[in-house]
Amino acid sequence: MTHASAHGCNSSIVQSPVRVQRSAVALALGGRVQSFSRSRAWLLQQSVVALSCLGLLFAGPVAQAESAASYPSRNISIIVPFTPAGTTDILARMMAAKLGEKFNRTVVVENRPGAGGNTGSNVVAKAAPDGYTLLLGTISTHAINTSLYKNMPYNAIKDFAPISRIANVPNLLVVNKNAPYSTVAELVAWGKANPGKLTFGSSGSGTTLHLSGELFKQMTGVEMTHIPYKGSAPAVSDLIGGQISMLFDNMPTVLPQVKSGNLKGLATTAATRNRELPDIPTVSESGLTGFLVMSWFGLLAPAGTPADIIEKLNRAVVEIIKTPDVQTRILAIGSEPSPESPAQFAAFIQAETTKWADVVKKSGASVE
C-alpha cells in the first residue's frame, strides 16, 4: 500500500473533496463548467486527486520525524560487517550492552560479513537516516577499501555520519604453536630458505590484517601467499589447525589464544610494546624499523541522520567509553580507548583515507 492510499487517497474517500472543487470551479465560471467536455472534467478531477495525495505524501515524513528528546523510542541495531568473535564484534557487543542500559532499549548486534566489510557497511549506508541502524566501522570499511576496491557500493565519506571512534587496536603477528620459528628473524630466515611455502591469513582482502602481511612481504622480501577469510574467527581456527603459516590479527581476537598457548605471538605492529604482552617485541624492534600498523573502530550512522540524534548518541558513547569498567575492559583486550566528537572522528577518517590510499598504491593490492 502506498503512503497516499494509507491516508485515504482512494476513489471512495476523495469523491467529496473533488465535488467541492468542481462546484467551486463551476461558481468561478458562472456555471459554464457544464459546457466542459467529459474528458476535461475527468482530467480536472484526476488533477485534484493527485494534488491532494501528493500533499499527504510530502506531509507524512515531516509528521513522523522524531526529535532527540524522544529518541530512541524503539530498538536499535548495530551492524557488524564481519563474522562473530572478531574485534569488531567484541567492541560492538560491549557498546550494545552499555547503550541498551543507558537508553533502556534493546540494542541488537547483527553480523553482515562479506567483501572486506563492504556488504554490511552498505546496508547501513542505504538504511533510513533515523538513528536506528548504526555501523561499527573500521579502518578497512572507512579508510582502506575506498582505494582498494575498484567498485565501491558506498561512499565512505558522504554516505555516513560519524558518531565517535571507540578504540585503537594494534595487530599481533601470530603463528602455530608448533611452528619451527619463534621470532620474526627466524620466520624471515625460514621463509627465505623455503620460498613460496609461507601463507598468511586475514579477515578479508584490504583489511589492515591483509595490508600488514603485504607490508611485511615488502620489507622482508619473503614470498608469501595471502589467504583471505570472511572474518577473523575462521582464519584463527585454520592457523591453530595448521592450515596457514601465520596471521596478523587484532590484539583482542588473538590475545586469549596466545595466553592459553594455542598460538605463539612473535611481534606487535604498534610503536611500543603492549601492556598485556610486555615480553613480546614490536615488529619494528624485531628488525623491520618503521613497521607500524594500528587498526581502529568507531560508530557511524547513515548520512542525513538528524544532528541532534548524532549528538545524543555521541554523548552516550563518550560517557560509556570513559567509565572505569569499560576502560578496563578495552585495555584488557589489548586496545586503547579513543572517544572523540563527531567532527574529530570525521576529520580522522578523512586523514586515514588519504594515508592508506598511498599504502594501497605502493602495495599494488586491488580487489575487483
Q: Do both 179 and 200 map to the same domain?
A: yes
The backbone region for 304, taken as left when phi is positive above 0, alpha when psi lies in -120 to 50, beta otherwise, is left
Q: Do both 41 and 149 map to the same domain?
A: no
CB atoms within 10 A of CB 266: 23
Q: Among 9-23, 260-274, 294-308, which stretch is predicted with the lowest mean pLDDT?
A: 9-23
Note the pLDDT of residue 16.
36
- Round the average pLDDT of the chain to a whole number and report it: 85
Span 141-170, pLDDT tens digits:
999 999 989 899 999 999 999 999 999 988
Which alpha helices (DSSP H) does 208-250 contain, by range? 208-220, 232-241
368 within domain boundaries: no
170 bridge partner residues: 294
Q: Do both 150 and 203 map to the same domain?
A: no
Note the pLDDT of residue 5.
41
- pTM here? 0.71
Distance CA 201, CA 178 (A): 17
Model confidence at 112, pLDDT cuts 50, 70, 90, reads very high
CATH number at residue 117: 3.40.190.150
Q: What is the DSSP letter of 131?
A: S
Note the pLDDT of residue 22.
40
CB atoms within 10 A of CB 250: 30
Domain count, the chain: 3
106 within domain boundaries: yes
Residue 172, C-beta contacts closer than 8 angstroms, at least 6 positions apart: 248, 249, 250, 251, 254, 255, 258, 265, 267, 268, 269, 274, 277, 280, 334
Which alpha helices (DSSP H) does 65-196 contain, by range? 87-103, 118-125, 139, 145-148, 184-193
Q: Do both 191 and 256 map to the same domain?
A: yes
Q: Do both 52 and 145 map to the same domain?
A: no
Is pLDDT above 80 for 26?
no
Residue 186 is part of which domain span? 171-294
Cell of 157: 565519506
Q: Do both 154 and 198 map to the same domain?
A: no
Is pLDDT above 90 for 262?
yes
Model confidence at 1, pLDDT cuts 50, 70, 90, reads very low
71 within domain boundaries: no
276 within domain boundaries: yes
Is pLDDT above 80 for 6?
no
Q: Do both 192 and 261 map to the same domain?
A: yes
